[in-house]
Structure formats: structure tokens, C-alpha cells
A and B are shown apart, each in its own frame.
Chain A
Amino acid sequence: MSKNLRWKVLFILGVVALSVFAFYPPDQKIRLGLDLKGGVHLVMRVQTDDALRLETQTTADRLAEQLKTANILIGPVSAVNATSFTVTGVPAEQDAAFRAALTEVEVNYDRASGAGGYTFALKPNIVVQLREDTVNQALQTIERRVNELGVSEPIIARQGAADQILVQLPGVTDVNRAKEIIRSTAQLELKQVEQGPFPDEASARQAYAGNPPPDIQILPGTIEGAPGQPASTGYYAVRRVAAVTGRDLRNARPTLDENNRPAVSFSFNNEGARKFGIFTQANIGKQLAIVLDDRIQSAPVIQSRIDDEGRITGTFTNQEAQDLSLKLRSGALPASLTYLEERTVGPSLGADSIRAGVTSAIGGLLVVTLFMLFYYKLAGFNAMVSIAINLTVLLGLMAYVGANMTLPGIAGFILTIGMGVDSNVLIFERIKEELAAGKNPRQAVAAGFDRVLLTILDTHVASLIAAAFLFQFGTGIIRGFAMTLTIGLLSNVFTAYFVSRTLFELTLSRRQAAKLSI
């Protein structure tokens, strides 16, 4: 063996060893995609309009409050849509004072005067910014919730249109629970009850002559029945502005109430405790509404000043109490979410798919090997060794870059076998032609490889172009396929040209070959 050849063989062995090291043991180092592992793939849209609406409503409320304190008498301040509100009935003599009060509002809103009043519209760049912030906040909240769920290797990312979020949870079996936890807004608010409960919404409105003032809100709530009786729904009139919200929570955990039923206890941070202390002090004897996502969970009477702790009771199961505390701990979503796409693969299907995929890959490899040995004899053996090395390198690289193995990815393996065969056949047929043209084996091998190199490069570049667009197009599972195909193509250039050639040279160096088995 020449020195040169020895180095080539050592190099190949080194690559194989590195690859094996990268993917061994495969059940730990090869990441499985959702379709093989089981789990759920969700695409959600963040309803960013919610956040804009809240911003507009809050600004309008604050302005009304501010004008009231400044004794500027105006008509109603009302939100028109998610991004604008109107102020009507500004008396002409107070117009200057009114405008002076607007400095804060006009940071974010453009003012236009219209018939009998002013319209304030959220500035376009602020709209974009708010939407962006909302999606990012939602993303972070979902991340916290998923982390609390304890899913390993989740994917949470923005995708496609600006307001879409992709969540992949491998290995999750209780999909409905996971979905519920991700989706609920979990907006906790503590509000002062003005009146109630009423049996229905109409009678609650009737208490305000059918027209409750803007700072009053009618909310449904759960009214516990007498022991043994089912709970019913009632309606309360509450203050619109919350005394304290979930933003000021420090912690939340499942607990039991005095009747040993599951409940959730929470504690406030310093800011929350201060606000809650002042509020409860001022409202002893009145009812406090514990509102979760615009539904009153309970409305206990405030017995004494409470600083930093509270409890949500209701008709929870243990699981629900646990999930609610998880959601409260990870914070509220800034806007509601709607599902656009859901794909769930049960774990048993994943296991079956692995079996089917591996069976078909081994089946494919077997047929191809038999054919190659039969048709090309020793050269066929060389080809299969180089293809086996190709698959080894492919596995190693996939493990190294952390690409997911998916069912279409297994198809990519089978196609990689096909490509390996293709390149080898191309070379072998060329060598045969050169032999037929009267060259000796050594010359024929050299000419065969040299002539075919360009062809191999051309074909691989063309396939890589297709694979690149496939990657662009694909969702997770298709991407797994494109990734496998790409890595397979790249390593095939190495194995079909370099490894196969080295194997041939090795064969030729062994016997003083007068004949080539091809």
C-alpha cells in the first residue's frame, strides 16, 4: 500500500469513527420528529386586536378620569374600534384647557376634529409596534407555560405571517390539556362588586335603568348552590377598573379550601400587596369579585384588610387547580389565541411508524445490495461499502446538527441509498467503457472517476437546488426530509467519489490486477 493510499484509508476510517461517535447511541443522540415520537403541532394566531382594544379602552378611561379631575365637563368618551376613540361635547370655552390635557394621550394617538368632537386614532407605527410586542409577549408566556408543563425539547417560535406562533410539543399525550393550558388567557383581576348577584344579565342592567355607566361592567359568575345543589350562573355589576391584576402576582399554587376542596392560593408582590392592602382596608364589608378571564370565580365578602395573599375557590378538580396555578404563575396572555392548525400523532402511531420506516429502509438496502453484488461483483461490494459509509456519515451529521429524524426523513435515507447507487453505477459503467476501449484496469479506473466527477457535481447541485426550496416550503416534518436529503447529497459526493475511488485503488494495489471484477 502506498503511503498516499494509507492516509486516504486512515482519513475515511477517521470520518466513520467520528460519525459513529456523533450518533451513538442512536436512541439518545438522534432526535425524533413529532411524527415518530408522537406529540402535537399547533399553529396559533395571536389576536393582536385584543391588545390594541385594551390599549385604546385604557387610554380613553384614563383621559375621562383626568378630565373629570381637571373639571373639564365633556360628553362621553367612547371607543369606536380597536384603534380609535372619540370625545364629544367639549364646551367651546374649555377647548383650550381640554387640549392642554392631551399631552399624554397624543404621544400615541393622532387627534382629528370632527362633527361635534374629536377623534383619536392610534398612530400607525405604534399599532405595528404594539402588535409586535403583543406577539412577543404571547410567545414568552407560552414558553413559560410549556416549560412548567415539563415538555422536553419543545419548539415555540413565530412563523409565517407576523401574528402566527408555532408550538411543537413532542411526546405530549394529553393533548387537550396541553392545548387548554396554552390557550387560556388566564387574566386574573380583583374587582370591587357594586351590586349583585342578579339572576340574568338583563336584570343586572335594569339596576342601572338599562344603561350602566362606563365605569361599571356586568360580568357573569358562578353562584355556589346550597350543599348538594349544583352551582348556577349569576350576574354582578362590578367596577371596570381592577383593584389588582394578575400582573402583580408573585406566586400561585394549588391548595385546599376550608371544605377540603381543591382551590388555588396566590400571593402578591410588594406593589400588588400595597394596592390590595389599601383596597381591602377601604372596602371592608363589601364584596370582592375574583375575576378570571372575564368570569367571576367567587365573590367573597372582605372581612378585614388583606395584604399579600388570596385564594380562588370554586368547583375545581385537583387537575384544574394545578393547571390554573400553572397559568397564573406564568402570567396572562396579552391577547387571546385562535388555533389555525393542529396535528396530533398518538404515541402508538409514532412507534408503528418507526417500525415501518426501519423495515422499509432495511428492505430497500437489502434489495439494492443483492442487485449490486450480482451485477457488479466485487465492484458492487465496493459500492455498498461506500453507501454504508454514506449512511453512517448522514446519521452522524444529523445527530451533530441536531436535525430531526422524521418519517419522510427515513424516505430521504432510502433516496440517499438510491443516489449512492446512481453515482457508483455512473462511475462503473464508465470504467467498463474505458476497459472496453482497451485501457488497463488502473487507467480505466482513473479515467472513469475523472470523467464522471463533473457529472456527479452537476447532478448533485441540481438536486440541492430542489432540496433547498423544499426546505423553504416545508413545515417541520417536510423540513426533516429536506434536511436528510441535503446532508445525504453532500456526504454522497464525498463517499461516491473519494471513498469509492480509494476502495478501488485499494483493490488494485492488493493484486497486481490484470483483471477488474466489475
Chain B
Amino acid sequence: MAIFDNANYDFIKWRWHAIALSALVIVAGIGYGITKGVPLGIDFSGGTIVVVKFEQPTSVDQVRAALNASMSGETVIQSYGDDANHEILIRVPQLVEEQGAALEQNALAIVNSITKANLGVFEVRSQEIVGPVIGAELQRKGIYATLASIIGITIYIGIRFRFAFAIGAIAATLHDVFITIAFLFFFGYDLSLNIVAALLTITGYSVNDTIVIFDRVRENLKNKRRDSLDTVVNLSVNQTLNRTVITAGTTFLAVLSLYLFGGEVLEGFAFTMLVGIVSGTYSTIFIAAALATVLSGKQAKARAAGTRKAS
């Protein structure tokens, strides 16, 4: 049984369309980031999040009314997770300088206001307070880790394959990171530690996929010396198409289970992975190898010319 029997699609033909489509999504994402600002979670921007679980059904408006008196600044109040759980998330930005008890002041004020408002029995499910110092530190570390991991992988591929391939692989990886971030923007997710962890995982995953095809290209280049690089790359993408789609499909299903059942805490993480898997598969088929051929274009032409002369 096979999904694609003797697949022979001309993927290379579509490379410019694919690159244009990706560029469109990425530009839209960047445009969103510039106009509306990059939505940072409290991990990076600093601030306080309190998740409260009520025994009785309690509306967001009731909580807002309870907090209005005491909170200043832009307070986000939203229901959290399944409605049946009566959970409400309250987020306030970091307003005060870190002096003594000030950091936890907002969290205390939230709990006190809700207690005073008589909304019935409630429990604080989780409380996160991140000061600006740590926020800035995590921001720096997050960017550093993502870049360093991409550079590390580039070097590895550069050593194991030819340089143009390393560039192709890294372009595909960056592509996946940017596309995923764009989708996070469109769907209103804030960048958090978990999401950066998912992005880093995607860099690994995306390269994984690309390496499989490159390995096949390398092998085919040895055996089919007469064909042009374009032809060999296209052949390799087709030969590995079953594995690409099956792997992506099964991983997607597994992560989908995480998205559906993993709970609110992992929702952003799972969403990021889902988008990353789809984007990674797409970029493997359309972007990575195509870019590698474009980049080694001169080499390929020279080779093709050489073979013509010989024949």
C-alpha cells in the first residue's frame, strides 16, 4: 500500500509560486507585528497572571466589576479553558518598579478584590509574576537560543552536505519559524516560554525533514550523473514523498491529540507545533530543495553543459 504510487510531480516548476505564497504570509505577519506590535506574554514583557477557579459559574463581567475599583492599567480578563470549569484568567501588566513587596502587589490586589466582591468560593489555580528584569533576560535568551540553534544546525549541514544545501535548509527553517510566528499573530497567541520552546523544536523538526531529502539527493547525484540538479532534486522529493507525508501526518495526529486533550497550559505549545509541522512539510517539498537548486544554479548549469558535451 502507498499513498503516492510512483509519484512524479514537477515540484521544481512550482517553486516560484511557493516562494511567493510564503513571502506573502511572512510579509503579512511582519506587517501585523509592526502595526499592532509583537504580542508578548508576561514571560517576556513582565506582568502578573492569576488564574482563578470559582465554585459557582462566574462571568468575566462580574470579575471585571470586582477588579475595576482596584486595578489600574490595561487589565485582561478572560475565561480560561472549558466553560464548565468556571476558570477565569486575569492578566495585568507590570507597572511598579521592583522594590520589596511591590512585585506581588498586583496579584495580592486581585485576590483581595475578588474576595471582597463576594463571588463565592474560589481557588487560585496558578499565579505567575514576572518582573521586568527577568522578562528582559528571557527575551534576550530566547532570541539567542533560537539564533544559536539555527546557526549550529547550518554549520552541521554545511559540513555534512554542500554549502548551498545548508543555506537551503536554513532558509526553510527560518521560513517555518516566520510562518509559524505569523500564524501565532493571526490567531492571537502571545509569545511565551512554551511557545519559544515549540519554535526551537520546530527548527529541529524542519531540518529533519529537509535532511531526509538532501540525503536522497546526495545519493542520487552519485548514481545519476547524467541528469541536471533540478531533475535529481525533483526525483528525490518524489521518492521521499510518501515518507514526508506519512511522517508529517502521524506527527500531526499525535500533536493534535496534545492540542485537544493536553489542557490549557499546553494549548499554545501544541498550536505552534501543529502550524510548524504543516509549514515544515510544505517547505521541505517546495522551498528547501528548490532554494538549494537555485543557489547552486551555476554549478548545475555547468554540469548540465558538461554532460551535453560528453554525450
Chain A residues near B (Cβ < 8 Å): 35, 43, 45, 160-161, 175, 179, 336, 338-346, 348-349, 352-353, 356-357, 359-361, 363-368, 371-372, 375-376, 407-408, 410-411, 414-415, 417-418, 421-422, 425-426, 429, 432-433, 451, 454-455, 458-459, 461-470, 472-475, 477-478, 481-482, 485
Contacts and interface: CB of A to CB of B under 8 A. Distances in A.
Contacts of A160: 137
Nearest to B263: A356
Interface in B252-311: 253-258, 260-263, 265-266, 269-270, 273
A198 B123 CA distance: 44
A342 B253 contact: no
B208 interface: yes
A408 B193 CA distance: 11
A473 B200 contact: yes
Q: For A336, A361, A455, which residue has the most chain B Cβ atoms within 10 angstroms?
A: A455
Interface stretch (B15-23, B68-76, B96-104): B96-104
A454 B197 CA distance: 27
B145 A470 contact: yes
B204 A462 contact: yes
A454 B215 contact: yes
Given A356-B262, A371-B253, A474-B197, A462 B131 contact: no
A349 B255 contact: no
Interface in B192-241: 193-194, 196-197, 200-201, 203-205, 207-208, 211-212, 215, 219, 239-240
Given A341-B134, A342-B129, A343-B127, A357 B263 contact: yes
A376 B262 CA distance: 28
B131 A339 contact: yes
B133 A422 contact: no
Contact of B250 (A349, A361, A372, A451): A372
6 contacts: A407-B263, A408-B266, A421-B247, A422-B251, A467-B204, A469-B148
Contacts, number: 229
A468 B253 CA distance: 26
Given A363-B257, A426-B212, A466 B137 contact: no
Interface of B: 1-2, 51, 53, 98-100, 103-104, 123-131, 133-134, 137-138, 141-142, 144-146, 148-149, 152-153, 156-157, 160, 193-194, 196-197, 200-201, 203-205, 207-208, 211-212, 215, 219, 239-240, 242-243, 246-247, 249-251, 253-258, 260-263, 265-266, 269-270, 273
Contacts of B51: 349
A227 B239 CA distance: 91
Nearest to B129: A342
A364 B200 CA distance: 21
Given A368-B254, A466-B203, A459 B197 contact: no
A161 B253 CA distance: 41
B85 to A, nearest CB: 9
Given A343-B127, A411-B262, A462 B211 contact: yes
Contacts of B123: 346, 348
Contact of A462 (B2, B207, B269): B207
- The DSSP consensus for interface residues of chain A is helix
A482 B99 CA distance: 34
Contact of A338 (B103, B138, B250): B103
Given A338-B100, A360-B260, A475-B193, A455 B212 contact: yes
A429 B242 contact: yes
A473 B53 contact: no
Contact of A429 (B200, B208, B243, B258): B243
B45 to A, nearest CB: 13
B152 A469 contact: yes
Given A367-B253, A462-B157, A478-B197, 5 more contacts: A35-B265, A411-B258, A432-B2, A464-B204, A470-B200
Q: For A175, A364, A376, A432, which residue has the most chain B Cβ atoms within 10 angstroms?
A: A364
Nearest to B107: A342
B152 to A, nearest CB: 4
Contacts of B160: 458
Contact of B128 (A343, A375, A415): A343
B133 A45 contact: yes
B156 A462 contact: yes
Nearest to A417: B254
A113 B212 CA distance: 72
A462 B208 CA distance: 7
Nearest to B161: A458
A339 B242 contact: no
A407 B266 contact: yes
A341 B250 CA distance: 38
A470 B208 contact: no
Contacts of A360: 257-258, 260-263, 266
A411 B212 contact: no
Nearest to A365: B254
> Closest 5 interchain pairs by CB?
A356-B263, A466-B204, A473-B145, A418-B251, A364-B254
